[in-house]
Amino acid sequence: MIPNKLNKGDYIGVIAPSNYIKEDDLEYINASIALMEASGFRIKFGKYVFENTLKYGTAPHKRAEDINKMFADKEIRAIMCVKGGEDSNSTFDYIDFDVIKNNPKIICGFSDNTSILDVIYDRTGLVTFHGPTFKSLTSWDTGYAYEQFMKTFVNGASGDKEIGTQEGEYTTICDGQAEGTLIGGNLSLFTKLACGKYAVDVKDKILYLEELGFETSPEMVNSNIYYLKQNGIFDRIAGLWLGNYEHPSNISIEEIVKNDLGDNVNFPIIKSDNFGHIDKKIIIPIGTKAKIDTKDKTKIKLLESCVC
């Protein structure tokens, strides 16, 4: 399912499936409200986005209630996760996937929000978006996140199917071509979706992965890649796209992946620094068909629109 694009006057719902809004977030939250209202949108916050009853946020069923209500609310045309965190996967048992399926709309976030974005797509078929959080619309040093938001969700029905540019400085790690549906996001979070009750289907998918070097050591990246390998993820995907990972050791994510997967890789692997925990990150639609061609300058392109 492809969600509808946004128009001026539409309501954008803000939820906190990960961490709640704290006092030191308010400067950026208020700036993002002002920015979006100046752009012609109206903002509605979930009931529990400020609640901290557990001293590390609020109960998972309450966070899921905000998700369900935002999808059910006919006024809301898009949903933004307010910020990242650590435990959005705790909401899974309480999400009403039928409500989402019957009320398709844009939902966008990154980092810990990887969990709900991939699971919502896997359970409902709704295209979701790995992109800016509501806070990050104004908390980064440039307006790139806002520009990506407008390009994708307001002007996205124009037929532009490029999600990267030639200036994205793509690196080829393993040559080849592949077509498949995009899925992925943050490596640490996607690793939790490799098996178990909420394992996502990766067969013939193009998997994209990024990691926060600030918090994640090369050893942890190595552990997560091996966990995916041990659970057969790399036996089933069609292609792999690696994003930003910057660690003080200067050990790169592509170096780790090459060491872990060896030389017997039968799918293309590319690397770019245009998505991840960085200022200038593109919006990547989960659930949209794409093509990798390592011979092209722009090595990955969408094969279909992600909004209508």
Which residues are within 8 A (CB) of 263 and not within 5 positions of it... i.e. 6 or more apart?
A: none
Q: What is the pLDDT of residues 89-131, one digit of tens each?
A: 999 999 999 999 999 999 999 999 999 999 999 999 999 999 9
pLDDT band at 298 (very low <50, low <70, confident <90, very high): confident
pLDDT of residue 168: 59
> Which whole number is the average pLDDT over 248-263?
93
Residue 160, pLDDT > 60, answer no
Give the DSSP per-residue string, the chain.
Answer: --PPPP-TT-EEEEE-SSSPPPGGGHHHHHHHHHHHHHTT-EEEE-TTTT--TTSSS--HHHHHHHHHHHHH-TTEEEEEE----S-GGGGGGG--HHHHHHS--EEEE-GGGHHHHHHHHHHH---EEE---TTHHHHSSSSHHHHHHIIIIISGGG---BSS-GGG--EEEE--EEEEEEEEEEHHHHHTTSSSTTPPP-TTEEEEEE--TTT--HHHHHHHHHHHHHTTHHHH-SEEEE-----TT---HHHHHHHHHTT---S-EEE-SSSSSSSS---EEET-EEEEETTSSS-EEESS-S--
Residue 248, pLDDT > 90, answer yes
Residue 159, pLDDT > 70, answer no
In 3D, which of 266, 260, 243, 140 has the Cα closest to residue 190?
243
> Which whole number is the average pLDDT over 79-88?
94
Least confidently predicted of 148-162, 215-229, 289-303: 148-162
Interatomic CA distance for residues 27 and 9, integer angstroms: 24
* Residue-range domain boundaries for the chain: 11-158, 166-302
302 contacts 2 by C-beta, under 8 angstroms:
no
Interatomic CA distance for residues 171 and 177, integer angstroms: 14
185 contacts 110 by C-beta, under 8 angstroms:
yes
Q: What is the CATH number of domain 166-302?
A: 3.50.30.60
Radius of gyration over every alpha carbon of the chain, rounded to an integer in angstroms:
18
233 contacts 239 by C-beta, under 8 angstroms:
no
pLDDT of residue 164: 61
Which residues are within 8 A (CB) of 26 and not within 5 positions of it... i.e. 6 or more apart?
A: none
Edge-to-edge strand ranges of the sheet holding 11-15: 42-45, 11-15, 76-81, 106-109, 128-130, 284-286
Quick one: CATH architecture of 11-158? 3-Layer(aba) Sandwich (3.40)
Residue 86, pLDDT > 70, answer yes
Cα torsion angle, 164, 232, 203, 295, sign: positive
Interatomic CA distance for residues 57 and 69, integer angstroms: 19
Task: Report residue 251 as tokens.
Answer: 């050990």
In 3D, which of 307, 3, 1, 2 has the Cα closest to residue 155?
307
120 contacts 103 by C-beta, under 8 angstroms:
no
Bridge partners for 290 per DSSP? 180, 302
